[in-house]
Structure 1
């Protein structure tokens, strides 16, 4: 099994994508790491979730914790 961190649009429940953003990575312990945070990362309808997949499951995955970011831009930037 391997872990992936997809993100999901809560308004379109069937749309799940793998994170492909240069400032977001998964570390050696399988934890999601942000080198910076952008306003786009905290969209109200965006949910990050941990998932485990296996070739034996033929494209199925098991979903874990869901995380939703709340990004507040700093004034003056």
Structure 2
């Protein structure tokens, strides 16, 4: 007669840590960090990669300093 051995519970591996947030801008509607695409024309709208909200024109993101009054995104300070 065969004796069944108790099986050890399988402990799942913890999920990998999320990637660090990247981008110099933060979408005001959803909080996602992003960088506007450099390929956009100045008259193109910048959209959030996460929630697709229209955040402003590419030219306003590229202005120096950025034209934050017209944008629905917040410029993050470099650490």
Considering Cα pairs closer than 8 Å and 6+ residues apart, tell me whether 1 or 2 has the greater RCO: 1
User: Would you tell me which structure has more strand in proportion to its own residues?
Assistant: 1
Provide the TM-score with structure 2 as the length reference.
Answer: 0.24
Greater radius of gyration (CA): 2
Provide the TM-score with structure 1 as the length reference.
Answer: 0.24
